[in-house]
Amino acid sequence: MSTIREERLDEAATIGLLITNDDTIRELNLRYRGQHSPTDVLAFPHGEGSDGFVSPPSEPPHLGDIVVSFPRAMAQAAEHGHSVEEELDRLVVHGVLHLLGYDDQSEEEREAMWRRQEAMVRSFHDHGE
């Protein structure tokens, strides 16, 4: 994936991706973040001790899983005046950045993450990915 190459990870990695509805993402958001509302994207990093799962040595490491709400993607695409595909790109990149250690809890972190995210989305569309 281009986002991983952009971040200069030298090895292959796997990522799980689920595109779902608001009910499912609301349930996951409540279960894992304590928030009883739908959200656009959730990222679940796979790190040492996160769930006890160990990748076989012959397989690339699993970075984690990303869950995207398709209804949120459609609404946000309409709100921002671009395609659903571009919004899905943006949400997946956002999730991958979280898996790579980016955070958006403070204003400074959020601005840095969004700058990186938008640069990557622009590069996808400039290069036809």
Taking 80 as the threshold, does the pLDDT of residue 93 lie above it? yes
The total number of structural domains in the chain stands at 1
58: domain CATH number is: 3.40.390.30
Q: What is the pLDDT of residues 53-65, one digit of tens each?
A: 666 777 888 889 9
For residue 7, give its domain range.
2-126
Taking 90 as the threshold, does the pLDDT of residue 43 lie above it? yes
What is the C-alpha to C-alpha distance for residues 70 and 34, in angstroms, rounded to an integer?
21
Sheet holding 62-69, edge to edge: 14-20, 62-69, 41-45
Taking 60 as the threshold, does the pLDDT of residue 101 lie above it? yes
What is the model's pTM? 0.81
